[in-house]
Amino acid sequence: MEQATSPRNKRGTQKTAALQRVLRKIMSKSEITKRTIQDKVISWLNSVRYSVTEPLLLGVARARYESLYFDPTESPLVTIAIPTYNRGELLVKRTLPSIFAQTYRNIEVLVVGDCCPDDTPELLKKVDDPRLRFINLPVRTKYPEDPACRWFISGLGPLNKGMDLARGKWIAYFDDDDIMTPDHVESLLRFAQHGDYEFVAGLYEEERDGHKRVVGHKTPEYPEFGGHGTSLYRSYLRCFKYNRNSWRKAYNRPQDIDRQLRLRQAGVRMELLETVVSYVVPRPGLSTVGLAARMMQPE
């Protein structure tokens, strides 16, 4: 017997379909579908440059620092780097509490603002935890005009600055509106230490239009990549900066995917922990996440 669709589920389905129609309309007019000769040339030149220089940089970094990571039982400082722009209240009420509640206590929380003009600096000053450090960039990062292309490299300036300023032996990247599981850092760190991995990532649970699903499972193409915003890596990998031109590529355009591909191509030891370590939920006033949310609420 066929189960009747509830009015609530029907409304949710209609809302999702409407959102998809709007996104298709926006994307059809977006620069995301148009690559210029300049885009192709810059992407090719970057690809050549990265393929030549990054394996060399990795070799030098390993020679200088890898011996510092031989003890799998140590509890090193872990820097959690968070790029942010005008989300001070959400950061303080949603994200930071989940970070300060970590079972692994030896952490530095480094929030880097992308020249935030709102009350983010004032709100963070009120946070009573010595592990928090806030840096607000004096100049806003330059992004593409198109909102879809801008989303691909969102937070790039603060991310690269955060890598430079991190004090920890390990660096974790996290978004300013997501939620960590209590064992996020501990699970990823112990997994990396015992497996002698240089880069690890986990799974995350996302919510879209009231529906939840786990994202980041192993795939034949990218078996070690994991979910967005779940990565933890040795700090000497800071020489692999996020690519400000990844949005110009024909595929794999999000900056984190671009960077992970380059890490793998350079020979970094990577692995996926198939455990949920974070939650991605809609921001207030929205019902979805990711690019769809950015299209509905541009920054």
Q: Which domains does the chain have, with CATH numbers?
A: 19-296 (3.90.550.10)
Calculate the CA 32 to chain-centre distance. Answer: 20
pLDDT above 90 as % of the chain:
70
pLDDT at residue 72 greater than cutoff 70:
yes
What are the tens digits of pLDDT across the range 127-137?
A: 999 999 999 99
pLDDT at residue 171 greater than cutoff 50:
yes
* Separation between Cα atoms, residue 42 and residue 25, nearest integer Å: 28
Q: Which candidate, 151, 113, 117, places its Cα nearest to that of 293?
A: 151
Work out the pLDDT band at 3, boundaries 50, 70, 90: very low
Residue spans of alpha helices (H) in 87-205:
88-90, 96-100, 120-125, 147-152, 156-165, 184-195
pLDDT score for 226: 84
Dihedral through CA 192, CA 229, CA 149, CA 133, nearest 10? -100
Work out the pLDDT band at 289, boundaries 50, 70, 90: confident
From residue 292, give the alpha-carbon distance in Å to each of 17, 89, 100, 161, 276: 12, 22, 29, 27, 22
What are the tens digits of pLDDT across the range 176-204?
A: 999 999 999 999 999 999 999 999 999 99
